Structure 1
Amino acid sequence: MVEVREWSRADTIPFLRNPSPADDKYSRGVVALRTGSAAYPGAAVLGVEAAWRAGAGYVRHVGAGRAADAVIARRPETVTGSDTGGTRIGAWVIGSGTDADGRSADERAALHDILAGRVPVVVDAGALDLAAGADAPILVTPHAGELARLRGQLRLESTEDRASAAAETAARLGGTVLLKGAQTLIASPDGAIITVEAATGWMATAGTGDVLAGILGALIAANPDAPLAETAAAGAWLHGYAGRVAAGMTQDDSRHGHPIVAMDVAEALPRAIADLLL
């Protein structure tokens, strides 16, 4: 029988903390993102914004062109460029706002190098096809359609049971799967499942997945010793709660809320975190 755990507000709080006088930008967590493209530069902006707003001490965007220009225009404190140098990266985020069909040989090699390393990697969107065989600890973040394609690549039979599909995929990959949806499922390679239901339907809008990827990178970098599945659950819960805050809703659904865009969710993260840390 698959072990299923429902994640809560109380479970999320330990993954957040007020910085102490002894903290510096590195101890608060260093996130590097290789995201965005000429076609989708906004994905890079949203992920970088979310990483900063979720509490990262140092955010690096690795890329060039429209995506890098858009990142700097929005968040000038971000370090950009292809050379990560001696930066002590705590988590990578790759794939958001990219398309595998348009990937160059150099980009493929760079992504393979990241996935061959030891630093945890959030694998999103256009990089999901590279997840199989990764040496790094990986957290893949597909929606339903992307999971179906990934399962096809892994030669797994189709199934309508979301929990079984996520668990089976995690086992085959040897990594953690975060299956996005109205109910988010996080599956560990050992078959354990965590469910997260903190979100609102107003978050069903373009770009919120890019925000989630940035949040996940920030929390993974800030919690290097925590189980990846639990950190992913905390990130998903925080993402949903920030969406509720942005939509003007309370935690208990006493209000219907209002339409939001993805940047609203990223900008609501500090308020959501402040509420959790009270």
Structure 2
Amino acid sequence: MSVPWGPTETAAELRAPTDTDDKYRRGVVGIRTGSEQYPGAAVLGVEAAWRTGVGMVRYLGPDRPTGLVLHRRPETVTSGGRVQAWLIGSGTDAAARPPGEVSALRGILSRPEPVVVDAGALDLVADGSREGGVRILTPHDREHDRVREAIGLAPLGPDAGDRRLDAAAETARRTGAVVVVKGARTVVAEPGGFRVVVTQDGTGWLATAGTGDVLAGVLAAVVAGAAAREERAGVHASARQSSDGGLEPWARRAAAAVWLHQRAGVRAASRAAGGATNGGPVTALDVAEALPAVVAEVLSG
């Protein structure tokens, strides 16, 4: 069963700050991404999280990415502390993890906070563990195939077409995670495996290096904001279904992040082309920089 998605549904998953908020009430994202080989992924994810509208970003990664993150976003905190959602894996390679990194990542996955699991951390969901909080997996098609093989499911291979929907739902059921399969048609499947949303409001110009890292940062920010609201209300959203029979709450938040990312891509491409209908070439950082206007537009109705 597919669920339609658009700006109205996205707005319902966001909230503008009020004069009673502080940085903790707006959400704190913990990010452990990037590597000596791929430091830019850390910069892009941190930038996207800030631009989506959180109260604080804590970056806990290697020295080289840390320096680049602070150069770009000096307001980022690089020490441990309170976190309401995590992002791990972007810009890392499971085959080249430094000593102790597996233990650190497993420690994050065992925590109660929701975790966005991207790229080089996706292999850690294959052990079947359900310990810890909500997990949101963000593979592209080739990574999705590798995850499926690791958990005993058949890979789809190229040209999967509409089979991607059923496969995403199957992966979500098997892993107990929200699954976001990235692509021109991004599929979001809830852990129950019964509902999916397909979003296709983006632009082909998003098919460029680093935009997946931006999406991961957007998603972590949306999730952290929601977790902060749930924390204040004393409600555990992961334990209940949506009252309208639609997607469960964390899948809704994933769909909202996907929509924001795609709309930011459209805005950035239009700006790059001077407003031309089909847009023009963009970089991942262009997409991140377009996010504040998109968030403001959605919140203003």
Could you tell me the TM-score, scaled by structure 2's length? 0.87
Structure 1 residue 17, shift from structure 2 partner: 2.2
Aligned counterpart for 1:92 among listed residues 78, 86, 90: 86
Rounded Cα–Cα distance in structure 2 between residues aligned with 1:188 and 1:41: 31
Instruction: State the partner residue of 1:174.
Output: 176
Instruction: State the partner residue of 2:7.
Output: 9
1:83-162 to structure 2, matched below 5 A, reads 84-85=80-81, 87=82, 89-132=83-126, 133-135=129-131, 136-159=133-156, 160=160, 161-162=163-164
Rounded Cα–Cα distance in structure 1 between residues aligned with 2:154 and 2:224: 34
Rounded Cα–Cα distance in structure 1 between residues aligned with 2:178 and 2:60: 24
After superposition, give the CA deviation of every residue in 1:8-50 in whole Å (9 maximum; x if it has no partner).
1111012222211100000111001000000110000000000
Aligned counterpart for 1:247 among listed residues 265, 269, 275: 269
Rounded Cα–Cα distance in structure 2 between residues aligned with 1:277 and 1:6: 19
Structure 1 residue 134, shift from structure 2 partner: 4.3
Unpaired segments ≥5 residues, structure 2: 231-236, 238-248
Rounded Cα–Cα distance in structure 2 between residues aligned with 1:199 and 1:33: 26
Contact kept, 8 Å, 1:188 with 1:229, in 2: the verdict is: yes
After superposition, give the CA deviation of every residue in 1:72-124 in whole Å (9 maximum; x if it has no partner).
0100000014xx13x2x111000000000001341000000011111000000
Contact kept, 8 Å, 2:34 with 2:62, in 1: the verdict is: no
Secondary structure of 1:248's counterpart equals helix
Instruction: State the partner residue of 2:253.
Output: 231
Contact kept, 8 Å, 1:37 with 1:98, in 2: the verdict is: yes
Unpaired segments ≥5 residues, structure 1: none
Name which of structure 1's ranges 50-59 and 220-229 shifts more when overlaid on structure 2: 220-229
1:277 aligns with 2:281: no
Q: CA RMSD in A?
A: 1.4
The amino acid across from 2:108 in the alignment is I
Secondary structure of 2:208's counterpart equals coil
Aligned counterpart for 1:212 among listed residues 193, 210, 215: 215
Structure 1 residue 199, shift from structure 2 partner: 0.9
Rounded Cα–Cα distance in structure 2 between residues aligned with 1:46 and 1:219: 16
Rounded Cα–Cα distance in structure 2 between residues aligned with 1:221 and 1:42: 22
Q: Matched residue pairs, number?
A: 269
The amino acid across from 2:90 in the alignment is S
Rounded Cα–Cα distance in structure 2 between residues aligned with 1:177 and 1:105: 28
Secondary structure of 1:139's counterpart equals strand
1:61 aligns with 2:59: yes
The amino acid across from 1:122 in the alignment is V
Instruction: State the partner residue of 1:184.
Output: 186
Contact kept, 8 Å, 2:146 with 2:155, in 1: the verdict is: no
After superposition, give the CA deviation of every residue in 1:144-169 in whole Å (9 maximum; x if it has no partner).
00000010100102343101110111
Aligned counterpart for 1:79 among listed residues 77, 80, 86: 77
Rounded Cα–Cα distance in structure 2 between residues aligned with 1:151 and 1:125: 14
Structure 1 residue 179, shift from structure 2 partner: 0.3
Secondary structure of 1:79's counterpart equals coil
Contact kept, 8 Å, 1:115 with 1:134, in 2: the verdict is: no
Instruction: State the partner residue of 1:203.
Output: 206
Rounded Cα–Cα distance in structure 2 between residues aligned with 1:110 and 1:193: 32
